[in-house]
């Protein structure tokens, strides 16, 4: 029996029970669409996270205060005063792979303009702060080196702060705001960057000279963090090692002493987030694959019912000359049609589902060609694997007993 006849007989048999065939395919449809949607959304989330982290600068290197330990327990950085302006100067003078560097201090407080107020964060930095963090000025200007030296009470605000403190002002440059009762003159407004990968609003920020925050807000002489930018992404790791060695020398640490600071790069964060995202994608895809097994069991169950219902038909075909192989291929073809048609519908539904989810979450829409290809192969394998035993049982029937079956 040729393939065309096998397909025609199988197709006719399935059409006789359309509802049952559709319900049988439902398990495969759900399984395939779930796998494709999970893989696609996993890759989309990974790309989205990478883009948002990269928006801070893939060359970014951060030096932070070391965590304190008490009785073997990590209690955080607290008020550890290990980083100073001298460390920043040493990096500027001695590093061969750093293009920009800035000290960073931060303070939290209430921002007030007239009757409007907003709980905000005041970030103190140098003139290179915006370039290192990949911020752009929408209106106004960045503060100057003279403003840093003079601890000038000037600031640049993010779009979220502008909307809450100056709801009626298109351009608040030149206006004044109060931070914990200390007045600051707004000299610039940042372009909007939206939320980062952690859900933090990057526009909810006020940037001022770090010396101003040190002396007028916090009354401290040390700094909270050092941010630096490597000359290129290729030398980011080398630059981070160089910065670490410079600060160890600056802090006069011996070889057997641990660092009293921490050095982190954006590439490390990207790798960590990529590993987590990849693990979650595989985990979700594995969970979704359970639906495929359930769908396959459904196919096997229905094929058993079909063999039982058509026992007399099988006996009649054998009586007029059909071989065991023909009966086997006939029922195997029906099983594969159920699986493949269900798989195709599942692939289409999975692509649509992932597109809608990506659109709502504002993630890039990514179609995983490998996931689609593997899903199609899995459909074929499912049809063969779960349809084989019922088809083998049908082919093994005795023609005489089959004809007598009621």
When pLDDT is cut at 50, 70 and 90, the band that residue 270 belongs to is low
CA pair distance 342, 47, nearest whole angstrom: 30
Of the candidates 221, 127, 202, 118, the residue with the CA atom closest to the CA atom of residue 158: 202
pLDDT of residue 282: 74
Neighbouring residues of 255: CB distance < 8 A, sequence distance ≥ 6 = none
Q: Note the pLDDT tens digit of each residue in 189-220.
A: 999 887 765 567 888 999 999 999 999 999 89
Q: How many CB atoms lie within 10 A of CB 285?
A: 19
Burial of 355 (0-12, 13-18, 19+ CB in 10 A): middle
Please, what's the b/e burial string for 231-265 (b: 16 or more CB within 10 A of its CB; e: otherwise)? beeebbeebbebbbebbbebbeeeeeeeeebebeb
Ranges 78-82, 253-257, 379-383: which has the least confidence: 78-82
Please name every residue paired with 299 in a beta bridge, in sequence order, or none if there are none: none
When pLDDT is cut at 50, 70 and 90, the band that residue 405 belongs to is low
| Domain segments of the chain as ranges | 3-52+272-404, 81-259
Q: Note the pLDDT tens digit of each residue in 311-351.
A: 777 777 777 777 777 777 777 888 888 888 888 888 899 89
Extended strands (E) in 167-265: 176-179, 182-190, 206-209, 225-230, 261-265
pLDDT of residue 75: 41
Neighbouring residues of 86: CB distance < 8 A, sequence distance ≥ 6 = 250
CA pair distance 172, 158, nearest whole angstrom: 11
CA pair distance 299, 386, nearest whole angstrom: 7
Of the candidates 230, 262, 239, 238, the residue with the CA atom closest to the CA atom of residue 59: 230
User: What radius of gyration, in Å, describes the C-alpha atoms of the chain?
Assistant: 33
Q: What is the DSSP letter of 215?
A: I
Ranges 318-327, 348-357, 358-367, 397-406: which has the least confidence: 397-406
Of the candidates 110, 95, 100, the residue with the CA atom closest to the CA atom of residue 130: 100
CA pair distance 49, 366, nearest whole angstrom: 14
Of the candidates 283, 347, 331, the residue with the CA atom closest to the CA atom of residue 28: 347
CA pair distance 202, 220, nearest whole angstrom: 26
Ranges 12-21, 28-37, 163-172, 242-251: which has the least confidence: 12-21
Of the candidates 77, 188, 214, 90, the residue with the CA atom closest to the CA atom of residue 135: 188
Q: What's the rounded mean pLDDT across residues 364-383? A: 79
Label the pairing between strands 182-190 and 225-230. unpaired
Please name every residue paired with 102 in a beta bridge, in sequence order, or none if there are none: 227
pLDDT of residue 392: 77
> Which CA distances in Å does 212 have to 62, 112, 119, 170?
21, 18, 19, 27
> Is pLDDT larger for residue 260 or for residue 385?
260
Tell me if 204 sits within 8 A of 83, measured CB to CB.
no
> Which CA distances in Å does 28 have to 10, 152, 329, 369, 378?
19, 67, 21, 19, 10
When pLDDT is cut at 50, 70 and 90, the band that residue 301 belongs to is confident
Q: Please check the confidence at residue 50 and state whether its pLDDT lies above 70.
A: no
> Which CA distances in Å does 65 have to 95, 248, 346?
20, 13, 51
Ranges 149-163, 177-191, 301-315: which has the least confidence: 301-315
């Amino acid at each position: 029996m040729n393939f065309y006849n096998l397909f025609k007989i199988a197709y006719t048999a399935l059409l006789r029970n359309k509802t049952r065939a559709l319900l049988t395919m439902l398990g495969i449809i759900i399984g395939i669409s779930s796998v494709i949607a999970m893989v696609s959304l996993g890759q989309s989330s990974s790309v989205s996270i990478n883009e948002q982290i990269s928006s801070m600068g893939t060359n970014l290197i951060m030096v932070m205060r070391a965590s304190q330990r008490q009785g073997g327990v990590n209690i955080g950085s607290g008020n550890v005063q290990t980083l100073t302006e001298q460390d920043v100067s040493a990096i500027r003078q001695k590093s061969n792979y750093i293009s920009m560097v800035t000290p960073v201090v931060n303070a939290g407080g209430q921002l007030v303009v007239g009757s409007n107020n907003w709980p905000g964060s005041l970030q103190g930095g140098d003139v290179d702060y915006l370039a290192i963090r990949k911020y752009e000025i929408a209106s106004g200007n960045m503060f100057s080196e003279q403003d840093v030296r003079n601890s000038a009470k000037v600031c640049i605000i993010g779009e979220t702060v502008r909307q809450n403190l100056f709801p009626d002002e298109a351009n608040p440059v030149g206006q004044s705001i109060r931070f914990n009762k200390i007045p600051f003159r707004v000299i610039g407004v940042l372009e909007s960057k939206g939320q980062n990968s952690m859900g933090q609003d990057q526009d909810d920020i006020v940037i001022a000279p770090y010396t101003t925050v040190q002396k007028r807000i916090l009354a401290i002489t040390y700094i909270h963090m050092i941010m630096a930018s490597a000359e290129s992404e290729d030398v980011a790791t080398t630059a981070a090692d160089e910065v670490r060695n410079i600060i160890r020398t600056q802090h006069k640490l011996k070889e057997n002493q641990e660092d009293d600071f921490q050095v982190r790069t954006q590439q490390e964060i990207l790798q960590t987030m990529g590993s987590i995202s990849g693990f979650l994608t595989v985990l979700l895809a594995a969970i979704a694959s359970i639906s495929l097994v359930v769908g396959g069991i459904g196919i096997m169950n229905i094929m058993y019912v079909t063999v039982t219902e058509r026992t007399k038909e099988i006996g009649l075909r054998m009586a007029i000359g059909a071989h065991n192989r023909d009966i086997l291929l006939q029922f195997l073809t029906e099983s594969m049609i159920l699986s493949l048609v269900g798989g195709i519908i599942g692939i289409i539904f999975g692509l649509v589902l992932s597109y809608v989810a990506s659109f709502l979450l504002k993630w890039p829409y990514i179609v995983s060609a490998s996931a689609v290809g593997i899903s199609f192969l899995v459909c074929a394998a499912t049809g063969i694997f779960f349809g084989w035993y019922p088809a083998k049982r049908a082919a093994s029937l005795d023609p005489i007993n089959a004809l007598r079956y009621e």
